[in-house]
Amino acid sequence: MLDSTMVNIAIHNLSQDLNSPISTVQWTITCYVLATGIAVPFSGWLLNKFDGKNVFLVGEIGFAIGSVAAALSPNIQFLIGARLVQGFAGGLIIPLLTTLLVQTAGAEVMGQMMATVGLPIILGPLVGPIIGGVIIKYLSWQWIFWVNVPVAVGAIILIIKKLPSFPAQNKAAKIDLIGILLLGGATSTIIYGVVGASRAASFNNHTTLLYGGIGIGLLLLYIAWATYKKADAVVPLTLFRYRSFDGSMLGLMVSGTILNGAMLLLPLFFQDISGLSVMMAGFALIPQGVGMLASRSITGRLTDQYGASMSF
């Protein structure tokens, strides 16, 4: 979250320095999120097949490599590729961290451990834009990625020296690779079609119709595949029989659209329209972080009092 919010504040500078339109630069964020989502099911499979410590180590090394590549990017295409590496590595790390914490800490201190791990997620939207703004003002956008490197190196050293081994749990485990590719392809092509609509200021254009059609076709293929695979599909269709699951997915989609849209557009508005410097734009985003921090606290109390479904 901290890395993502720092990149958001840098979109204006990335567009200028790499001579690319915003519609292209935004893929540095979109590809990161897509790669993270694709990596999550791989994380569980790798944890079953291999030592959890080694998988965690590979994820951290991959994130460090992606960060170095992003910092050295000579053009927007190279940067997007580096962000794909970062996103996939991050998608391995996040669920692994939670799983390994459960195995290491035990149930009796799980609440305290999860609260500690979740602290950066809470503080990221609050301090990320400020840190990013300061870095860009006094250094350059490249340093947004360079700062990840010593953190990753420190994590790698701690993993090697302190983290115990976690033997493979189920070496016979299989992964629905075809399902992941179909869902990932459907999502990517549909998003590319929507980007084409933003460029043409209309959904009635060749790019949107072509890629939107391909995306819908891939989605239909996934539905057919998941019907065949049943419970072994990466996202079993039986989950959609439960209203709680449907409501959660709808809520996540709506909140994600609003939140991520604002995180991309507000820095551009403050810099391009309001004329604020990149550092002041970072400070102007503090209310957004405060709101997210407050909402998490309120939601936690509501969940404890009424249950998750009532809070939703």
The predicted model scores a pTM of: 0.80
pLDDT at 61: 95
Q: Which residue has the tokens 């019907």?
A: 227
Q: Which residue has the tokens 């992003």?
A: 70
pLDDT at 283: 82
- Supply the DSSP string of the chain, one letter for each residue: -HHHHHHHHTHHHHHHHTT--HHHHTHHHHHHHHHHHHHHHHHHHHHHHS-HHHHHHHHHHHHHHHHHHHHT-SSHHHHHHHHHHHHHHHHHHHHHHHHHHHHHH-GGGHHHHHHHHHHHHHHHHHHHHHHHHHHHHHS-THHHHHTHHHHHHHHHHHHHHHPPP---S-TT----HHHHHHHHHHHHHHHHHHHHHHHHTSS-SHHHHHHHHHHHHHHHHHHHHHHHHGGGSSS-GGGGG-HHHHHHHHHHHHHHHHHHHHHHHHHHIIIIIS---HHHHHHHTHHHHHHHHHHHHHHHHHHHHH-HHHH-
Mean pLDDT in residue range 269-288: 82
Does residue 46 register a pLDDT over 60?
Answer: yes
Q: Cα–Cα distance between 239 and 227 in angstroms, integer?
A: 12
DSSP state of 141: T
- Whether 92 contacts 54, CB under 8 Å: no
Does residue 33 register a pLDDT over 70?
Answer: yes
Does residue 80 register a pLDDT over 90?
Answer: yes
Does residue 126 register a pLDDT over 90?
Answer: no
CA-to-CA separations, 141 to 11, 115, 258, 295, in angstroms, rounded? 9, 31, 25, 30
- At 213, list the tokens: 């059609």
Percentage of the chain modeled with pLDDT above 90: 22
Mean pLDDT in residue range 287-300: 71
Q: What is the pLDDT of residues 98-115, one digit of tens each?
A: 777 766 666 555 556 655
* 66-80, 135-149, 152-166, 167-181: least confidently modelled range: 167-181
pLDDT at 81: 94
pLDDT at 225: 94
Angle between helices 27-49 and 76-105 (to 10 degrees): 40
Q: Cα–Cα distance between 131 and 270 in angstroms, integer?
A: 16
Mean pLDDT in residue range 106-127: 63
Q: What is the pLDDT of residues 206-265, one digit of tens each?
A: 888 999 999 999 999 999 999 998 888 888 888 888 888 888 888 878 877 777 777 778
Please, which pLDDT band fits residue 23 given cuts at 50, 70 and 90? confident
* 50-54, 91-95, 109-113: least confidently modelled range: 109-113
Mean pLDDT in residue range 272-278: 83
* 87-101, 135-149, 240-254, 291-305: least confidently modelled range: 291-305
Q: What is the pLDDT of residues 140-152, one digit of tens each?
A: 899 999 999 999 9
More confident residue, 98 or 274: 274
Q: Cα–Cα distance between 126 and 122 in angstroms, integer?
A: 8
- Whether 208 contacts 194, CB under 8 Å: yes
Q: What number does CATH give the domain 2-175+234-311?
A: 1.20.1250.20
CA-to-CA separations, 286 to 263, 270, 281, in angstroms, rounded? 11, 13, 9
What is the chain's alpha carbon radius of gyration, rounded to the nearest angstrom?
A: 20
